[in-house]
A and B are shown apart, each in its own frame.
Chain A
């Protein structure tokens, strides 16, 4: 076994020891130990996966032979190592965060249970990622689902949480069944149970079988990824789960759904039918749009973030779908770009969503309320939390210089390459989905401006918000770490893309780095790979300037129309960072210099001359998102609002009481509602069989026996 294998075993040993330690230690030391072991194990995981990612070597270890199941295979290639890296990136700050956060459960719930489950979850996620054959994969998947359910349902005394957890478990199980069924269909046609033989075997499947496998596995993994129409569990699970578990759920576990889709639908089945890709693209765009629509009108912060996770997973899936379509149409470079954008977005989402969830958990632990209508003015009492939350909000709104901008930009660019496709129908679908994603981006800005402004800015709207204090240091450091990652992923994409290129190259078959990050700033003039005229034009623009001082490559989306006249946008991103720092710095300096003699006078905000601006005179979260609610009324269809008007005497109305508008989710109305009604009708129809008389039952037995005999005779 290589070093990687040894380190992997060490990782599992660390997780196990963490579990045991959590089980033994009690009281206050539990969270400290958990954060320490969590930190160490995630650090180790980062080292392992980083190593494999950068070096590109695959690890394969055959394990024991199980009866009926064949030999279990541990396989770690660049794709799994990417996902493992992301998992480690999320687990590390969450572990640090837990040191301070778990204190709120002291005395109320068992921290030992939490610690055990935490490490087991970590281990099970990694097991899913290194599983190399079907049995191992399904076992690990099932174990991960159950442990996840146990963690989400941690606060089991609340009635609401039990129901949400149950919904999550049942939908997860349904998904697992679908995955298992799909994998079995493929396994029947192949020789062995490991993924390599499945890949060979899948080529022998008929078109119908491929469709069946695709639909089953896509929907099955879609449950875990939080895609419409099987995402109903996610908005309920997040508010139920403890704060740090929410961050893990959105940051690490949703990614496993994407991993499954890539592993099974892309790698196993291969890219042959563009229709598969269109389905993925449509489902992704729909999830994105629906997710952000519901996120914008939600006032509960965690529910809003859950819907936003659906949105982001939708964007990732849409990118995947575009990559499928390009790949099966033979446009390999474009497929690579779309796939890279999608993976980049997944990485970014993990980072900034964890940051946002940790911020929400900080607020929850300090204030005890999650309703944004009752927050406000928190920036004064919690300056660091608001700063980091602001970084998260800017990232998710896709604003430079943070990471969300890079991945959304690349995704949209990838979708816009319609001209290269043949079929008009496909082009129309691409255009519509591109428009849908653009709308999503706009709505996301609305949603998160509301989230930040209504919670942190303005005037405090409740007693709890007025008395908020800053969170302990461990929680702040965790958020700071993630905020720095957000910034780093945003200003240094040219260093990230070559790393992400490795799994993309494995999947697509060609490297896409040069399409995205041509080495204009590092290559010499006489380089044979590049056209002389092309290069010199670029060098004349000053690509050589400061080459020795500032390292890094330029970020480009290169449209190679013709060899002669490419359209190029380029700027070395390290350059732009340096220029940004320089310009901002000099701007600040000059302003300070020219105004240092002026006096600054502070006055209260101008309020129209009212005597006092009270908290009820400021915008609420409901009011801010009301326009969206009104414009998209056809989607939300709120039920008639109960409005009671108390009248003392005619014309003297003393109270107009409007209850909250009750809404059922669009999916519940259009998918689950009819399904439930249908099954109820069928059940009612069948219930008529239960007449209660013994004679009837005897008759049933007779009829079924006769029927079976007839059928057996016929076959």
Chain B
């Protein structure tokens, strides 16, 4: 099943059906390109509602935003995709003294990690969740200390409970002779810090228990109380390899909040730069896959292309990773004709060499042996875990935010979303190649028909309120929820990144395969811990 079915009646029909079955208050906001519905419901109806949305109407869970209000909590569950170009948020208000809300993790498994993070950082209890605790905050943090609460001072280091606390891995496999093989947090030549505990009886990995958040920098907490310009820098730099995408999502949220219209030239250039970043990420991912299987020449070939893309980005924009380009209202600098020609020719030439590499890889049987039928994520599991990005598209889930919730002019750009069904590493590799090809095509199309005009619009200071910004980052769907106060200061900034969503489903691929396949499966996912841990 590749495309989700769209129910009749659009979002209005959905809302009416909802009103008929549960005591809810609905509000629908329509704009030219989006229908956003907010539904206030009771906590006890939450599980049933979520299950109905996800299993019958095929909505996808996007994010869970927890807001601390004066008298309690406001939880916002955001869904999208059931009806095209629509967002549906379920709002639940919990008074302080109640402090608990029913868990939807067993019905909507994609919400599992969101609930665990909220429990660790806010102290909320999600009833019925079987595995709370030891997620974001590791064992040095005492119980009952929740950094995201307003009363917690996030600007100073927090003295811990004990220097060397006792901690044992939470064993799942009970088999005679089973043991746990630890990987990390410092491992390999140069890899991001993350900890994996592989339960095994000797050859095959039976279960993977990952421990993340070694790189937790508390971006959401740091952002509170800062001005929009500074939070823009945070949004850009918390994950350097997808900087442009995340800064674009943040800018779109602020633009939506203040009603800023972005000029056409800026929108098209944003598309071109977004696709440039996607192309570079996919070349990097292919280089990583070749490196993990030990195919040296292919790794070098792909890395040469990646470095050329980095240099091209620097020549065009002044920074190798496209930092400092997005600003609410447009871009900070305009690109001259010379630079645009450089970009077009450069991408065309690099794409040609990239596709040559693909041809050679397709006929290297020793390389394909390590990828085919290894690290399989079934379509059913991918849907249940709500996976996004190339990983999901390799398992039959065609959802792409550029098509489902088009932004920044993508509705006028022609492109295909590649999709494979096997869900193994080779399928993910093929999706990467096809997407890269599409990205290069998009850049070509956009730059050849680029309109003239201003590069940014400055508007009034954004007013208080909250809005959601989203982007299809190179690794998948990213959602930024921004809540501003009166004087343009950020009150709450919620980041949901594609790596966070996809690391949740990583264990599905790594289980029941040998140790030697583990790094290859990890490389085929192409995820980033910096993006996930924030």
Residues of A whose CB lies within 8 Å of any CB of B are 299, 373, 607-614, 616-627, 629-630, 648-660
Contacts and interface: CB of A to CB of B under 8 A. Distances in A.
A155 to B, nearest CB: 25
B172 interface: yes
Interface string B340-375: 000000000000000000000000000000000000
Most A CB contacts (10 A, CB to CB) among B112, B167, B169, B202 go to B202
A651 B169 contact: no
Interface in B108-128: 109, 112
Contacts of B185: 608-610
Contacts of A625: 202
Contacts of A620: 177-179, 202
B202 A608 contact: no
Contacts of A611: 139, 164-165, 167
Contacts of A612: 164, 166-167
27 contacts: A299-B177, A373-B176, A608-B184, A609-B184, A609-B193, A610-B184, A610-B195, A611-B139, A612-B167, A614-B168, A616-B168, A616-B171, A616-B179, A617-B169, A617-B180, A617-B182, A618-B179, A622-B176, A622-B201, A624-B202, A648-B106, A651-B112, A652-B105, A655-B173, A656-B206, A660-B175, A660-B176
A626 B202 contact: yes
B169 A616 contact: yes
B16 to A, nearest CB: 30
Interface string B96-111: 0000000001100100
Given A608-B185, A609-B185, A609-B186, A652 B131 contact: yes
Contacts of A659: 175-176
B195 A651 contact: no
A623 B201 contact: yes
Nearest 9 pairs of A and B residues by beta carbon: A622-B177, A626-B202, A649-B106, A623-B202, A658-B175, A609-B186, A648-B130, A620-B177, A651-B109
Contacts, number: 108
Interface residues of B, number: 41
Given A610-B182, A614-B169, 8 more contacts: A608-B182, A617-B197, A619-B179, A648-B130, A651-B385, A652-B105, A655-B173, A656-B175
Contacts of A660: 175-176
Contacts of A649: 105-106, 130
Contacts of B193: 609
A603 to B, nearest CB: 15
Nearest to A618: B179
B207 interface: yes
B384 interface: yes
Interface of B: 105-106, 109, 112, 130-131, 139, 164-169, 171-187, 193, 195, 197, 200-203, 206-207, 384-385
Given A626-B202, A649-B106, A607 B172 contact: no
Contact of B207 (A613, A624, A629, A656): A656
A267 to B, nearest CB: 48
B51 to A, nearest CB: 12
B167 A621 contact: no
A620 to B, nearest CB: 5
A415 B197 CA distance: 48
Contacts of B178: 620, 622-623, 658
Contact of B187 (A608, A614, A619, A622): A608
Contacts of B202: 620, 622-627, 629
A652 B186 CA distance: 28
Contacts of B183: 608
Nearest to A610: B182
Contacts of B203: 626-627, 630
A629 B176 CA distance: 15
A655 B178 CA distance: 13
B174 A656 contact: yes
Given A607-B182, A620-B177, A654 B172 contact: yes
Contact of A651 (B173, B177, B197, B384): B384
A617 B181 contact: yes
Nearest to A645: B172
A620 B200 CA distance: 10
Nearest to B202: A626
Nearest to B188: A608
Contacts of B172: 653-656
A523 B176 CA distance: 62
A626 B207 CA distance: 17
A299 B187 CA distance: 31
B182 A652 contact: no
A612 B166 CA distance: 8
Nearest to B196: A608
A609 B138 CA distance: 14
A682 B499 CA distance: 68
A657 B131 contact: no
Contact of B106 (A622, A629, A630, A652): A652
Given A608-B183, A608-B187, A626-B203, A658 B168 contact: no
Nearest to B131: A652
Contacts of A657: 173-175
A624 B178 CA distance: 11
A621 B165 CA distance: 29
A594 to B, nearest CB: 32
